[in-house]
Amino acid sequence: MDNEIESEGPFQLAFFKENDFHRKQCISCKNFFWTQSSDRVTCGDPPCDSYGFIGNPAGKGPLSPDQVRTEFINYFSKDHRYIKPYPVVPRWRDDVLLVNASIYDFQPHVTSGLVPPPGNPLVMSQPSIRMNDLDLVGVSGRHLTCFEMLCHDSFNNSRESHYWKEGTVSRCDGFLSEVVGIKRGEISYKEKPWSGGGNAGDALEVFVRGLEVGTLVFMDLREDPEGPIEIEGSTYSKMEMNIVDTGYGLERISWVTQGSPTVYDSTYGSVISHILTRSGVEMENISEMGAITQIYSSDPDRLPSEIEKEVRKVVRDDLSFSWDHVEKIRQAYVLGDHARSILLLSRDYVIPSNVKVGYLFRLLLRRSFRAIDHLHFKGSLMEIIKLQASNMKGIVDDFPEQFLQEIIDEERDKYEKSLEKGIEIVKRILKKKGAMDFSDLEMLYDSHGLVPDFVSQIMKEQGKELIIPPDFHARIVERHTGKEKIIKAKEEVSIFRGLETRPLYYDDPNMLEFTCIILDSSDDLIVTNQTAFYPTGGGQPFDTGYFQVGSKKYSVIDVYKDGNAVVHKIVGHIEKGTRVKGYVDGTRRKQLMVHHTSTHLLLGTLRKLLGEQVWQAGAQKGVESSRIDITYNGKITDETIRLIEHECLARITENRKVTSRFMDWNKAIETYGFRLFEGGVPLSGKLRVVEIEGVDVEGCGGTHLSGTGEIGFLKILKVESIQEGIFRFTFAAGNAALNYVESIESDLTRIKNIVRSTEDTVQKVEKSIEELIRLREEITVANKEILTHLFDSARKLVLCGTNAWIVDLEKDELLKLAVPIALSKPDSFILSTKEKKTVVGRNKDELQKIVKCISKIEWDGKGQVIPIGLNQLKSENLIN
């Protein structure tokens, strides 16, 4: 017990002392940990310890994942509120792409203290997706992209306190020892600071026989550039709240109680068995995969390639399966894991693309296709996904099968086409560079869907070797999920911090005149105690108008928020303390209200007609027109657009009621779900909910009409695909729509006057265009005849051993003549007596030679080289 240290550290808990836990320093990693065992000298964390449960399970009996979830929730529900799991795509946040842990559900609105937690304390099982260890999935035996994080959390502050370190550790120990049946002597608690999502705190990692089964975080720090506490390169300061954030690995607890070779076998062994059987892969000796898992646990920081030799030693000749057999089992593990992530992403209607979460979805799909091909699996990806859905009952009650099947079919087709083109693409790169680097592999993967293994196979056929980075996919994921710096539209005006402006536009969106007092001013900026001017936000532009002091008017040219203050930029300067009167431009305000309410109407209509996969991906309201971007993976025809317009008109004529009200965050989510966050993520204590009766409900801070009848009518001006899976609808409503229709009518009248016909205008225009096409064809034929005549009359010379044709033409005419001559006599060149510096020919290298020769013999200067390439010849339809 010479490594025992009793008197230091942040976890001198009564629980540890009363239950004979001792604080020790690990002889391997030098970190501190708590244990009951007097003989233990290591912390339990690999590689300090190897797995001691494979083939020798811990606990009082094997528990399935469903049983672990049920036992955990039941144990904590006695004094915790159960919270249903959130989606895996955190649309209530704009700083992360996927939910990586249960605490993601509550950052930053709850952890900052702005919003109360949905339960306090609470218990839940949150499905999560992590992609940072993608290359180790199926390889290490323990890494997953999809997992459930069990948690019991407590949010404490000066007004409300539940439990902190003592209560957390005792509850953790109670669940593991009393419910799961793990002996206390097999549990170790390793001290390790935690940080993430702008918060940090002390933490205990919980290990059972070398496997981490949970982490207990005591979050009491917030990221602060001037903070006195440093953790992993960032500085922090104390925050008002003390938050218990726990995370237990559901799959790992199940694994440690089953003692199976890998976490995949314990989590969905029947799915793995199905995949291998349908792939013609024998199941014998799959237990040997446990020995491979042990090797990876012995040194998890080593890259897979460095462990490969040691793994090969395990798969000896006297075993009944070969290394190829191991690879097939690994691919089955990958397929089973990815099917779960794909299932969860489809429930949130993610559409594959080359950006953000869509890219991650495509990455999982293509890795799954690769695994299916490697295994020669005699089944479908959907077949595996359905099996996983059955395994996750209670978490996954249903999923959009038709939507997902369409996604799979479309992505599979793209994947196969990319492989068909892949060979030539790789060959071209090798011809140009002779080798491949990471940037080449990244481009091949991102742009063409070519996985490194496929590229390696092609290179072997070319007699070249490719060194594939063992963390290739992890590096790709990092590049696509790196934190983007948000560039603020305006510099923060710190002198206005602390001021608060009452928003009169929420009291009455039709208010256009008001009186106020200048709370503060700086140059041409003023902050008032109240205002009817709407500040830029939520895709809605600011109001314009003016302030008046006496007889003098000050135009308002910009309005924006700075904290709780509304800042007005004016032409001129008004002193602090002045009482002023404000006048909002009513015409502009009304049109923006029409377009904002129309945006909600259009979004609800699109979702109804196109399906639940429609999510707002951006919006911008304007006066003359507005636009909304939506996620959608289908086609939008002219017929669909007309149907959308008629559906909108029906809701307008019904004059559906529009209501706006502030609601508690949690109540709003419970009532309306996460569709509330269509228009963005407000960081405030309340959500302003705007509802069009029976059409759309979402959180929104904009100004709106009181009924859809005030819109008048809505006209879609243009629909375009702005990126994969994203369509942009540009539209006009109200007076703007009328102005658009009037402009179309004016253009039609002009066309009628131009064609000067009493018959149908469309027919007349069609006839005119047909006539124009016929005349152009005749001109083309005539030009060819003229060029043929010029060619026949051209003078032929032999210059520098090369045929040359001399013509009296300007440069443009010369280039036209060059095409037929280059085709009929590719070894010849054309020289112009009018353009003595211009030589035209087909072969660039020969051109340079003849230019030098001619410049010495006949003309001064080096000459201008104009090669006639095959692409130009093809574009002229002169060659096939």
Sketch the domain layout of the chain as residue ranges: 53-272, 277-287+298-481, 494-584, 590-742, 794-875
Contact between 279 and 378 (Cβ < 8 Å): yes
Tens digit of each residue's pLDDT (9 = 90 or more) over 651-687: 999 999 999 999 999 999 999 999 999 877 777 788 9
Of the candidates 180, 339, 361, the one whose C-alpha atom is nearest the C-alpha of residue 264 is 339
Find the range with the poorest average confidence among 539-548, 700-709, 757-766, 786-795: 786-795
Between helix 250-258 and helix 263-278 the angle, nearest 10°, is 80
Tens digit of each residue's pLDDT (9 = 90 or more) over 815-868: 666 666 555 555 566 666 555 555 666 566 666 666 666 555 444 334 344 444
Contact between 117 and 245 (Cβ < 8 Å): no
In this prediction, residues 731-760 reach a mean pLDDT of: 86
Provide the b/e sequence for 44-64 (b: ≥16 CB within 10 Å).
bbbbbbbbbbbeebbbeeebb
Going from the C-alpha of 757 to that of each of 183, 545, 638, 747, the distances in angstroms are 96, 48, 29, 15
For 590-742, CATH gives 3.30.980.10
CATH 3.40.50.12780 describes domain 494-584: no
Distance of CA 871 to the CA centre of its chain: 38
The whole-angstrom separation of Cα 331 and Cα 276 is: 9
Task: List the binding residues.
Answer: 596, 600, 700, 704
pLDDT at 542 over 80: yes
In this prediction, residues 530-555 reach a mean pLDDT of: 95
Positive or negative CA dihedral for 840, 846, 852, 855? negative
Percent residues over pLDDT 90 in the chain:
61
Tokens (6 digits) for 705:
């009409």
Confidence (pLDDT) at 851: 64
Residue with the bigger pLDDT between 284 and 642: it is: 642
Contact between 401 and 345 (Cβ < 8 Å): no
For 53-272, CATH gives 3.30.930.10
pLDDT at 42 over 90: yes
Q: H or E stretch including 688?
A: strand 686-692
pLDDT at 794 over 70: no
Confidence (pLDDT) at 431: 79
Task: List the binding residues for Zn(2+).
Answer: 596, 600, 700, 704
- Count CA within 13 A, CB hemisphere, residue 791: 19
Confidence (pLDDT) at 874: 39
In this prediction, residues 553-567 reach a mean pLDDT of: 94
The whole-angstrom separation of Cα 785 and Cα 153 is: 86
Confidence (pLDDT) at 788: 67
Say what the pTM is.
0.84
In this prediction, residues 391-404 reach a mean pLDDT of: 91
Of the candidates 473, 484, 452, 486, the one whose C-alpha atom is nearest the C-alpha of residue 359 is 473
Residue with the bigger pLDDT between 589 and 846: it is: 589
Going from the C-alpha of 590 to that of each of 532, 587, 644, the distances in angstroms are 13, 5, 24
Contact between 701 and 611 (Cβ < 8 Å): no
